[in-house]
Amino acid sequence: MGVFCRRVPRDTPTNEDHLEGAMITTYTISGMSCGHCEGAVRDELARLDGVTAVEVSAPEGTARVESAASLPLAAVRDAIGEAGYELVDA
């Protein structure tokens, strides 16, 4: 609601290395307002072990994460927190 994003834009390449048989999990995230927020969340999630692709949508408040194996929820929560946002429990 009228929140200004003060994040500095960064060039973040999307990871397009799709793995066959990968797991896809969608997480709900609160607090994202624009593309810079998306980039920050994507950067952090992409750093997690086993993550092969990340798509983040600020308007939908979601992150769609593709990974080779199931990700520990605590690690996902920490990564989103590191970016400055909050994982919303389903």
Which positions touch Cu ion (CB under 5 A)?
5, 33-34, 36-37
Nearer to Cu ion, 42 or 76 (CB): 42
Q: Supply the DSSP symbol for 48.
A: S
Shortest Cβ 33–Cu ion spacing (Å)? 5
- Number of Cα atoms under 13 Å in the Cβ half of residue 30: 6
Nearer to Cu ion, 36 or 64 (CB): 36
Q: What distance in Å separates the CA atoms of residue 28 and residue 15, rounded to the nearest whole number?
A: 20
Residue at shortest CB range from Cu ion? 5
3-state secondary structure of 84: coil
Shortest Cβ 51–Cu ion spacing (Å)? 21
